[in-house]
Chain A
Amino acid sequence: MIHQYKIDDLNVVIDVNSGGIHLFDECSYDYVALQNEGKVHEEIVGLLNKQYGDVDFSEVQSEIKQLTDQGMLFTEDNYEHILDGLSDRETVVKALCLHIAHDCNLKCKYCFAEEGEYHGERSMMSLEVGKKAIDFLVANSKNRKNLEIDFFGGEPLMNFEVVKEIVYYAKSIEAKYNKNFRFTITTNGVLLDNDKINFINEYMYNVVLSCDGRREVHDYMRPTANQKGSYDMIMPKFKDIVSKREGSYYIRGTFTHHNLDFAKDVISMADEGFDLISVEPVVAPLSADYAIKPEDINLLLKEYEVLAKEMVKRNITGKGFSFFHFMIDLNGGPCVAKRLTGCGAGTEYLAVAPFGDLYPCHQFVGMEEFKMGTVELGVENTELRSEFKGCNVLAKEECSNCWAKFYCSGGCMANAYNYNGSIQSVYKMGCELEKKRVECAIYLKAKEI
């Protein structure tokens, strides 16, 4: 299977099953399209001769054959057998999302955590539960060395003393169990001060700073409890923490139906001096006024392209920045096993609610039917775990003929559940956006080379 698209002055051809990515000139681009339809050389030459009179199409034929022989074009899909081994694989937990605070000091309108409460009551994780979560992770991570702990909320800085103690505890047992903990914290920035900045920059592998971009966009969706904007409160603190930081960070926003021109928000954050940026579509029921609607998709696809072209321009002038969804590693990306099994929710990645309940991921927290167990007793609902384990891109009918299947790996299971009631389904609006993001990511790489 191949996928072809034009963007800017490039003609891109992706060989889906090998991951081979090629730039074709005009005549070879048209040639391969006809070959992909099943036409033979003589037919193709007959169809294209008038348009490309002086081209020697035997050269084109030869180059395509060479790539085909090298397994870089028209490659067969023979990955089904890998799943046999994967379905029998032992379950290893390697990442936990700790819901350290189910409370928040902002009242963001789109919050899937329902202003921090997640279908439940306001609550804070205790140190005791946090330590048990670390012990659970170590005990269930087998021989995996790199383990991830994500402090999430609500707003994690509202329970920061417990965050610190959990970090100290995890660090204290690292050597004994031959583990390397990588901590990430997500914050809205309201409570950031010098002490917290120093701690985060010393211990956190990554920090995610929540900001939606332009001041008016941010303030509309991310007000304080008394309905004032939070942009001016958080922006100086975000600049401060980033200026003092050596490790990774992301300034991360959400776009909604109210800012479909979200490229302007990305650019706004770049202009404020941030160079690691992520802005993502809102997760919301269609009934919400801010939800992305099917009729918004074409605009959003164009907006991704606007952003990609602006990034190319800025790269040339030395003012480049990274956009999370346009990042792609063409030579050292994930292996086939990872691409088939997807995000790892419910198996490798679990979320821990404040009182220690385990869920498949942060988006399922508080949904009783998705409770998997506790940090104390471990995963008890093994049937549910098996359901998540068996949910891979080859198991989804809609994905089997999709060219992007090895980039998105079947998409977000929580999104699929929220929109269709089944983790085995796909969230089609998300598919369209993801495909465009992959195309733009490849375009950006091609322009770098």
Chain B
Amino acid sequence: MKHIKTLNNTVLQNTVKHGGCGECQTSCQSACKTSCTVGNQSCENENK
């Protein structure tokens, strides 16, 4: 594309199919403890 550059290749809708396994970290666990941050976590689903 000449005018637009897309930074990512996955879309959230696709995660509906394989999501919800719950193997990812709970959000407050690693460092924050005072402010919920979900979007910066990684998916740990081994079967996606």
B-contacting residues of A (Cβ < 8 Å)?
13, 17-25, 27-28, 59-60, 63-64, 66-67, 71-72, 75, 78-79, 82, 85-86, 89, 92, 94-95, 97, 112, 144-146, 148, 150, 152, 184, 186, 206, 208, 248, 250, 252, 254, 278, 280-283, 324-339, 342-345, 348-349, 361-363, 406-413, 415, 430, 433-434, 437-438, 441-442, 445-446, 449
Residue of A nearest to B18 (CB): A335
What separation, in Å, do the CA atoms of A78 and B16 have in the docked complex?
Answer: 11
Contact check, A334 vs B3: say whether CB atoms are below 8 A apart. Answer: no
- Inter-chain contacts of B2 with A (CB < 8 A): 59, 63
- Inter-chain contacts of B4 with A (CB < 8 A): 13, 22-25, 28, 63-64, 67
Complex A-B, nearest 4 residue pairs according to Cβ-Cβ distance, in ascending order: A335-B19, A407-B39, A337-B20, A335-B15
Residue of B nearest to A85 (CB): B20
What 12 new A-B contacts, CB under 8 Å, besides A250-B30, A434-B35?
A: A13-B4, A23-B7, A95-B25, A146-B25, A148-B25, A208-B31, A280-B34, A335-B18, A343-B38, A361-B28, A406-B12, A438-B39
- Inter-chain contacts of A438 with B (CB < 8 A): 39
What separation, in Å, do the CA atoms of A85 and B19 have in the docked complex?
Answer: 12
- Inter-chain contacts of A433 with B (CB < 8 A): 35
Per-residue CB contact flags for chain B residues 32-44 toward chain A (1 = under 8 Å, else 0) read 1111111111111
- The minimal Cβ–Cβ distance linking B16 to chain A, given in whole angstroms, is 5
- Residues A408 and B36 in contact in the complex (CB < 8 Å), given A23-B5, A67-B4: yes
Q: How large is the interface on B (under 10, 10 to 19, 20 to 34, 35 or more residues)?
A: 35 or more
Could you list some 14 contacts between A and B, CB below 8 A? A18-B12, A59-B2, A59-B3, A63-B2, A71-B13, A72-B6, A86-B20, A324-B32, A330-B7, A339-B12, A408-B38, A409-B39, A410-B36, A412-B36
Main secondary structure of the interface of B (DSSP, over half): loop
- Inter-chain contacts of B8 with A (CB < 8 A): 19-21, 330-331
- The minimal Cβ–Cβ distance linking B19 to chain A, given in whole angstroms, is 3
Contact check, B13 vs A18: say whether CB atoms are below 8 A apart. Answer: yes
Pick the contact of B22: A85, A342, A348 (CB < 8 A): A348
What separation, in Å, do the CA atoms of A336 and B33 have in the docked complex?
Answer: 22
What separation, in Å, do the CA atoms of A339 and B1 have in the docked complex?
Answer: 30
What separation, in Å, do the CA atoms of A144 and B25 have in the docked complex?
Answer: 11
- Inter-chain contacts of A445 with B (CB < 8 A): 7
- Inter-chain contacts of A337 with B (CB < 8 A): 15-16, 19-20
- Residues A19 and B34 in contact in the complex (CB < 8 Å), given A325-B40, A333-B42, A335-B43: no
What separation, in Å, do the CA atoms of A339 and B11 have in the docked complex?
Answer: 13
- Inter-chain contacts of A18 with B (CB < 8 A): 11-13
- Inter-chain contacts of B45 with A (CB < 8 A): 335
Contact check, B3 vs A63: say whether CB atoms are below 8 A apart. Answer: yes
Residue of B nearest to A152 (CB): B33
- Residues A343 and B20 in contact in the complex (CB < 8 Å), given A407-B38, A408-B36, A412-B35: no
